[in-house]
Chains A and B, each alone.
Chain A
């Protein structure tokens, strides 16, 4: 027995020696003793968006190489490595997962989120305040050029918590082929965006043409909008002159008149003029896109990002992915028309921002990485690939971006854009607003009743809200 044990110990020792020899790092031993030891900092980065938006993280991967070169030149022995994850479904779950991970001291170091979540993330202590890094660090120079209104979107209580990553505009797309059938000349069609910009073509005009197209059988539906809760609906409240936030009191605002006008508008579309399907809010996204790209709908309240999506995803039954030539031939785009003649048209942007986890161990490097990836070359690449708008005038001058006809065409929309309030309870408001709009579209409530229902919901759900008439 003793002999066996002895033999076993000898074998184990020998095996351990052999394995330790195999496990050695020849490259380390080959290095001269004086070579500086580098520390690898691994950043977990995650982003949300359609597959076309993956550049939100791949740009960070590329920027890491540039950052490492700078660090080497500076004699900084740290090197950055990026572990990227891009998520394309379940935005709420994407945030919840991070919030729970954060409480255990983990979570991705750098994330992209909608600017409208800045308030919640900042107030909850999940993300870092970045003013000092922007103003005082050596990396601040990379982000100085970003548009001021995008910085406003990244603020909570006057402090900056995010670096704008991209922006977009909500547009009204129109089918040129249907307008031609209605007798519009090429000149009439090409002038439409300008007429909308000048307030000469209003929402009522849009409804009338939509009705004409449906009545004459040129379109199966006159107007489509998104089927679920989203930033488009607050944009319409803005369009009817509504106010959603009081900056002085930091409270949300329930603007009865503007909300009533908004409800009247959707009620008229679905129940009176019947140009919008009453079941719009139960339609599948894919079906909506298919009907639009196949030319069954005259107007589509979409977004600039859809332009890229239609070239990336096979929605068209016969054509599959659309070519840009086909799209220019058959689709036009404009601001959301003003609610009244001579009024100002509107659009709404929901910029995405990079935020830094407050648990991260190397916040300076995380900021450096984000700042470098905000340079025009990276930002223009993302914008062109995903149908978004760039974050700075310098990026707008990038040849890649300037050559893109669509993005150059819609850049002016940022002059008309509005933002959603950065308030942690705004999500509850939009959720209730969507339900109220749904109720008038399906004819369950008339606008007056829907307004009362909405007011009751909001009083029940939201603590910080003011009511105005």
Chain B
């Protein structure tokens, strides 16, 4: 850290050396350009430009004519008065929080089960592959399977199961519990990514830590609590931020399974934007809804990075070198 402070003060004390450092940095940037250039172009083209376009579009009344008719803040004023937007915001909160719990929590559980408790590597891999199947299935097929599984008649798989076992009458799962259905459907897919990341992280923990803990008489729970979880702090941080941001913007499975219904009960913010833009051809209004989402996502990302101590993680290597 001291060295870092010294480096910062160099330009004032030694202008010649500072100029040399500047040239050095510039040449190293040029050297790095071929490597980061393609990714920079992709980020500008597919992230930055769409965001700028969306922001500009949000100040227009673009409709089915696809014309840029500027209307000032009209869309944002409408958004403030839109009761359905309020419902969508609340639904998003419930959806993201609950699904995140499954994605990270259940993903972690799967990783522990298939990596730590399952001693045979092949068996663990087999279970992991099975859990990856939904992720490898096209979204439409996956949604269709859920629709068949939850069909409200006695022919629906779940209803048939309860009917056979408990003689229960058929139930309209999707209409009576739309939010739990979309949370579970999304959670089962999201958990597999967490499982892969956490499994890899668990495998990278040196074996000696587990042996030492066992010698000290640690139980499995102790090992998870005091060895595995501390080692998984950064993967957990990554997965939490990553999944939060992707859940905020995800809507495809909800669109296909409940379409936000019934009565907006499973309508999340991103889906509301989609419905307004592509269902009602209110592209300007839909863009305004999206802009709010972008702002919220940036704020959440910054807060999470602060909470998890992102700076500490990035400085870890530097501290080691200095030490």
The interface of chain A, by Cβ under 8 A from chain B, is: 92, 96, 99-100, 103, 120, 123-125, 220, 277-279, 281-284, 287, 290-291, 424, 427-428, 431, 435, 438-439, 442, 444-445, 453, 456-457, 460-461
Contacts and interface: CB of A to CB of B under 8 A. Distances in A.
A296 B176 CA distance: 24
B280 interface: yes
B65 A287 contact: no
Interface string B243-284: 000000000000000100111100000000000001111000
Interface residues of B, number: 29
Contacts of A124: 64-66
B175 A279 contact: yes
A220 B163 CA distance: 15
Contacts of B170: 279
Contact of A438 (B64, B262, B279): B262
Given A282-B175, A438-B262, A438-B263, A431 B279 contact: yes
Nearest to A123: B65
Interface of B: 64-66, 81-84, 147-148, 150-155, 170, 172, 174-176, 258, 261-264, 278-281
Contacts of B83: 456, 460
Given A277-B152, A282-B152, A460-B84, A435 B66 contact: no
A283 B153 contact: yes
Which 8 residue pairs of A and B lie closest in terms of their CB atoms, listed nearest first? A279-B152, A279-B172, A282-B174, A124-B65, A282-B175, A442-B175, A120-B64, A439-B263
B66 A282 contact: no
Given A278-B175, A442-B175, A284 B64 contact: no
B280 A460 contact: no
Contacts of B279: 92, 427, 431
A439 B151 contact: no
5 contacts: A278-B175, A282-B175, A427-B279, A438-B175, A438-B263
Nearest to B81: A460
A435 B263 contact: yes
Nearest to B67: A124
Given A427-B279, A438-B263, 13 more contacts: A92-B279, A103-B66, A120-B281, A125-B65, A220-B153, A278-B152, A279-B152, A282-B150, A283-B151, A428-B280, A445-B263, A453-B263, A456-B83
Given A435-B261, A438-B262, A284 B148 contact: yes
A100 B264 CA distance: 28
A96 to B, nearest CB: 6
Given A277-B152, A442-B172, A442-B176, A99 B262 contact: no
B153 A291 contact: yes
B174 A279 contact: yes
Nearest to A280: B152
B147 A284 contact: yes
Count chain A CB atoms within 10 A of each CB in B83, B155, B170, B263 and give the residue with the most: B263
B281 A283 contact: no
